[in-house]
Amino acid sequence: MSAVKTSGKTKAKTIAPPASRVPDRPAAPQADPLDSYASTELQNILDRSLHATAARLTGGISPGSLAGAYWDWAVHLGVSPGKQAQLIEKAVKKWLRLAGYCGRCMRGDDCPACIDPLPQDKRFNGEAWQQWPFKLIYQAFLLNQQWWYNATTGVRGVTQQHQNVVEFVARQLLDTVSPSNFLMTNPEVLQKTLTEGGGNLLRGAQNLADDLEAAYARGPAPGGEEFTVGENVAVTPGKVVHRNRVMELIQYSPATDKVRPEPVLIVPAWIMKYYILDLSPGNSLVRYLTEQGYTVFMISWINPGPDLRELSMDDYRQSGIMEALDAVQAITGCRGVHGAGYCLGGTLLAIAAAAMARNQHSPFATLSFLAAQTDFTEAGELTLFINESQVSFLEDMMWEQGYLDTRQMAGAFQLLRSNDLIWSRIVREYLMGDRRPPNDLMAWNADGTRLPYRMHSQYLRSLFLNNDLAAGRYAVDGRPIALSDIRSPIFAVGTERDHVAPWRSVYKFDLLTDTDVTFCLTNGGHNAGIVSEPGHAGRHYRIATKFEGDRYRDPDTWLDETPKSDGSWWPAWTAWLDQHSSGFGARPPLGAADSGYPVLMPAPGAYVLAD
Q: Give pTM, 2 decimals.
A: 0.86
- Residue 92, pLDDT > 70, answer yes
Q: Are residues 373 and 410 in the same domain?
A: no
Whether 90 is covered by a domain: the verdict is no
Residues 6 or more apart whose Cβ sits within 8 Å of residue 159: 72
- Residue 39, pLDDT > 80, answer no
pLDDT of residue 410: 59
Mean pLDDT, rounded, of the chain: 88
Last residue of a domain, one of 417, 449, 481: 449
| Overall average pLDDT of the 182-198 stretch | 95
- Write down the H helix ranges in 218-322: 285-291, 313-315
Residue 306 identity? P
| Overall average pLDDT of the 43-50 stretch | 80
3-state secondary structure 228-273: CECCCECCCCEEEEEECCCEEEEEECCCCCCECCCCEEEECCCCEC
- HSE on the CB side for 443, CA within 13 Å? 19
Whether 414 is covered by a domain: the verdict is yes
Pairwise CA distance, residues 345 & 267, whole Å: 5
Whether 95 is covered by a domain: the verdict is no
Last residue of a domain, one of 449, 478, 505: 449
Q: Are residues 364 and 247 in the same domain?
A: yes
Q: Are residues 532 and 436 in the same domain?
A: no
- Residue 456, pLDDT > 80, answer yes
Q: Are residues 440 and 360 in the same domain?
A: no
Residue 551 is classified by DSSP as P
Q: Are residues 187 and 279 in the same domain?
A: no
Whether 544 is covered by a domain: the verdict is yes
Residue 438 is classified by DSSP as P
Last residue of a domain, one of 414, 449, 484: 449
The residues annotated with a catalytic role in the active site are 343
Pairwise CA distance, residues 525 & 501, whole Å: 9
Q: Are residues 261 and 203 in the same domain?
A: no
Contact 376, 370 (CB under 8 A): no
Confidence band, pLDDT 50/70/90 cuts, at residue 417: low
Confidence band, pLDDT 50/70/90 cuts, at residue 224: low
Whether 348 is covered by a domain: the verdict is yes
Q: Are residues 313 and 347 in the same domain?
A: yes
Q: Are residues 565 and 597 in the same domain?
A: yes
Q: Are residues 418 and 566 in the same domain?
A: no
**Total number of domains in the chain:** 2
Pairwise CA distance, residues 524 & 526, whole Å: 7
| Overall average pLDDT of the 91-115 stretch | 88
Beta bridge partners of 495: 522
Residue range(s) defining the domain that contains residue 208: 178-219+406-449
Torsional sign, CA 447, 451, 452, 453: negative
CATH of the domain at 333: 3.40.50.1820
Whether 432 is covered by a domain: the verdict is yes
CA Rg value for the chain:
27
- Residue 452, pLDDT > 80, answer yes
Contact 394, 455 (CB under 8 A): no
The H-or-E segment that residue 51 falls in is helix 42-58
Pairwise CA distance, residues 219 & 212, whole Å: 10
Whether 435 is covered by a domain: the verdict is yes
Q: Are residues 526 and 427 in the same domain?
A: no
pLDDT digits (tens, 9 = 90+) for 307-358: 999 999 999 999 999 999 999 999 999 989 999 999 999 999 999 999 999 9
Contact 192, 429 (CB under 8 A): no
Cis peptide before 604 (omega within 30 of 0): yes
Q: Are residues 434 and 506 in the same domain?
A: no
Q: Are residues 215 and 318 in the same domain?
A: no
pLDDT digits (tens, 9 = 90+) for 485-530: 999 999 999 999 998 899 999 999 999 999 999 999 999 999 999 9
pLDDT of residue 17: 40
pLDDT of residue 219: 65
- Residue 576, pLDDT > 70, answer yes
Whether 397 is covered by a domain: the verdict is no
User: When comparing pLDDT for 222 and 360, which is higher?
Assistant: 360
